[in-house]
Amino acid sequence: MITFFKKSFIIGIVLCTFSCDSFIEKQPIDQLSQNTFFTDVATTRTAVIGVYRSLTSSFSYGQAFIVIPEFAAGHMAHISSFPEYVEYQNFNIRIDNPWSLNIWTASYSTINAANNIIFFAPQIEGYGAMNDLQNLVREARFLRALSYFNLVRAWGAVPLILTPTSRETTSGDLRVARNPVEEVYAAIISDLTQALDLPLTSSGSGKGRATGMAARALLSKVHLYAGNWNVAASLAEEVIANNTYTLIGDFSAIWLMENSQESIFELQFDQQTPNSFVQNANPGSRQEFFANEAALAIFEENDVRRDFTIRRAADNTGREQLYVGKYRSFNPPGQNVPILRLGEVFLIHAEASAKAASSVSAASLASLNAVRERAGLDPVESAGSVEAFTRLVQEEKRREMMFEFETWFDFTRTGLASTILGVPSTQKYLFPIPQLELDLNRNLLQNPGY
């Protein structure tokens, strides 16, 4: 794992102080003055590592952002069928559901930590001539973009806060309205466009830091969601063409080894930064989360991904259970979480290139079949209409990326949430704004249908 994480947890947490409405009851940025903290590359690097560290929280990629989208996609089960999880599976989420609030607040915590870096680091003397310092700001922009991308996919229009809170910030200053989806996407694209100038690639635990190729991969995905097919396809092609990344022949190796050749951006966990989800989802550990029995039917019999993705093992009583196979390194619970990997980029390219050309080209089929053939499946020879091909790609992506928190968002983007998952109304494609946020901020309006 990145060495800096172990050196800078305390300051990183200080800089991850909450920023938006539900955070106004909390301590502002502790007792640390932001403008005096950012004095050089070392202090800024410490702050950047704090932003990465915030993503490992159990309210973020450390558990919640794995669990909630997977419940919504019908892939996961809970040992006690707690309502706060089942509500996502039943598309009947209460406005006071704690996990909506947890993900919302954790995301804005990360955003505020990034805002501090983006605002204060350029004020350091000599910034314009210090490429290392500029790259740290670019990393902060990448992480802010990732957080806003998750927010806009889950809630639609959200408050777009691009400046940090301070000790002088008042409650009234923070009570902002929701920005239109188009404005949020424009801010995400702006941040990632600046992050393209980061060093292109890294290796080993360096994959836990943003790079130019990670920015391209995420920007390709963002443009796919925004409907900019040509740009999405072009960026995906650039990532695929980079010789640093390859599809690993053994699908299981993506998770059984850290920072594989397929990984583009991978969140780093270790004994000092334990992965809460793997602690709660494995035999021999705290058995709270399981794979849903219905998830097995999504795979073809000869799909090599099935028996690794959905793991059969005996629980503490000796009874066979279905576990989430991709996250099985629980002793110690230090398993990394791949956020961006090449398999997904191939599938982004397959869909985006077909939509850009309004036809299913050989290149589109080749990208889809690269993933299928690695899974031991026959290639798709033809796919008919672009709409039919999009569905094929999405179904393949569901199998490829089960338990990687993407299916729900892809299906709501394409409308397959209604036809495949049975979501009763498109209003349920978005999560409800947490009630606590509405209570604190009268300028926020609830999503329709809640």
115/236 same-domain check: no
Burial of 62 (0-12, 13-18, 19+ CB in 10 A): buried
In a domain, 426, yes or no: no
For the chain, how big is the Rg over CA atoms in Å? 21
Give mean pLDDT, residues 380-405.
96
Which tokens hold the place of 50? 């704090």
In a domain, 372, yes or no: yes
In a domain, 292, yes or no: no
Q: Report how many domains make up the chain.
A: 2
**Is the separation of the CB atoms in 28 and 169 below 8 Å?**
yes
73/172 same-domain check: yes
Nearest CA to 433 out of 23, 103, 83 is that of 103
In a domain, 288, yes or no: no
Give mean pLDDT, residues 257-266.
97
Question: What confidence score (pLDDT) does residue 2 get?
Answer: 35
Mean per-residue pLDDT of the chain:
90
Question: What confidence score (pLDDT) does residue 285 get?
Answer: 81
Question: What confidence score (pLDDT) does residue 173 get?
Answer: 65
Q: Which residues pair with 312 in a beta bridge?
A: 322
Question: What confidence score (pLDDT) does residue 81 get?
Answer: 73
In a domain, 60, yes or no: yes
In a domain, 299, yes or no: no
Residue 174: pLDDT over 80: no
153/87 same-domain check: yes
233/362 same-domain check: yes
- Distance between CA 70 and CA 325 in Å, rounded? 14
179/238 same-domain check: no
Question: What confidence score (pLDDT) does residue 318 get?
Answer: 83
Question: What confidence score (pLDDT) does residue 377 get?
Answer: 97
Question: What confidence score (pLDDT) does residue 19 get?
Answer: 37
61/13 same-domain check: yes
80/37 same-domain check: yes
Question: What confidence score (pLDDT) does residue 26 get?
Answer: 32
Percent of the chain with pLDDT over 70: 90
CATH number of the structural domain spanning residue 382: 1.25.40.390
76/96 same-domain check: yes
Question: What confidence score (pLDDT) does residue 199 get?
Answer: 97
Q: Which residues pair with 341 in a beta bridge?
A: 263
Question: What confidence score (pLDDT) does residue 167 get?
Answer: 61
Tens digit of pLDDT for each residue in 291-313?
999 999 999 999 999 999 999 99
401/354 same-domain check: yes
Token pair 């005996």 is found at 314
186/41 same-domain check: yes
Range of the domain at 22: 1-211
97/116 same-domain check: yes
Question: What confidence score (pLDDT) does residue 168 get?
Answer: 60
Residue ending a domain, among 192, 211, 230, is 211
In a domain, 320, yes or no: no
In a domain, 429, yes or no: no
Of 14-18, 201-205, 328-332, the least confident = 14-18
Question: What confidence score (pLDDT) does residue 7 get?
Answer: 35
Tens digit of pLDDT for each residue in 196-221?
999 999 999 999 999 999 999 999 99
154/89 same-domain check: yes
Tens digit of pLDDT for each residue in 270-290?
989 999 999 999 987 888 999
